[in-house]
Amino acid sequence: MKRVFIWVCLGILVFCLAGGVGAAAKVQKTPVPASKAVPESSIIFKPERLGEYRLFTAYGGGAVAVGLGYLFPVERDYDVILDAAYYLGNQYSILTAKLAADVKIGQDLYTGLSLGWVSYSQTIADIPGLSGNTASGSHIDAGIFLGKEIREWRVQAGYGTAMGLTGELSYKF
């Protein structure tokens, strides 16, 4: 069941990165005279926004974290985020690395999917959002989140298969 969920999340992530169904419907090609055509090899993607570093604090896996990430703008409303964090809990630690994709769904709202690697230093019980014990060692974490941008700040809440309920506050610098 976990594998099916992970493959579905990966499929949705690829679909979002490709622009979804609406992107194909929005494109209308008009013929360009041969004298004014630009060779495809000279077209370079130039995003409207620049990438940005993000410093964040987070909660997940029953622990609090500090981390650093980088947001890559892919298109106007699509971003890809790569980050790493160190979580400290009650006599245990968690190290994470994550790749996420988000899409704007309103003026300041966004939602997205993430896929990451999580390493628990020891077996943990009673993680909010997860039942049973979480074994020590490496785990794959597929997640979903919803957030809001407020100037240079981002606030988000979500759920991960290895981290349980999550929350994050990040600052662009």
Is 31 inside a domain boundary? Answer: no
Is 87 inside a domain boundary? Answer: yes
Is 130 inside a domain boundary? Answer: yes
- Alpha-carbon distance of 156 to 109, in angstroms, equals 10
Q: How many domains, the chain? A: 1
What pLDDT does 2 receive? Answer: 55
CATH for 98: 2.40.160.20
Is 37 inside a domain boundary? Answer: no
Is 164 inside a domain boundary? Answer: yes
Per-position DSSP letters for the chain, written without gaps between them: -HHHHHHHHHHHHHHHHTTHHHHHHH-------GGGPPPGGG-----SS--EEEEEEEEETTEEEEEEEEEEEEETTEEEEEEEEEEE-SS-EEEEEEEEEEEE-SSSEEEEEEEEEEEESS-EE--TT--SEE-SEEEEEEEEEEEEEETTEEEEEEEETTTEEEEEEEEE-
* Domain extent at residue 140: 2-20+48-172
19: left (phi over 0), alpha (psi -120 to 50) or beta: left
- Alpha-carbon distance of 116 to 113, in angstroms, equals 10
Is 35 inside a domain boundary? Answer: no
Q: What are the pLDDT tens digits along the chain (173 aa)? A: 556 555 665 666 555 555 555 544 455 556 656 555 555 555 555 556 788 999 999 999 999 999 999 999 998 889 999 999 999 998 999 999 999 999 999 889 999 999 999 999 999 988 999 988 899 999 999 999 999 999 999 999 999 999 999 999 999 98
CA 23 to centroid of chain Cα atoms? 20
Query: Do the strands 63-75 and 78-88 form a parallel or antiparallel pair, or are they unpaired?
Result: antiparallel
Is 90 inside a domain boundary? Answer: yes
Is 53 inside a domain boundary? Answer: yes
What pLDDT does 132 receive? Answer: 87
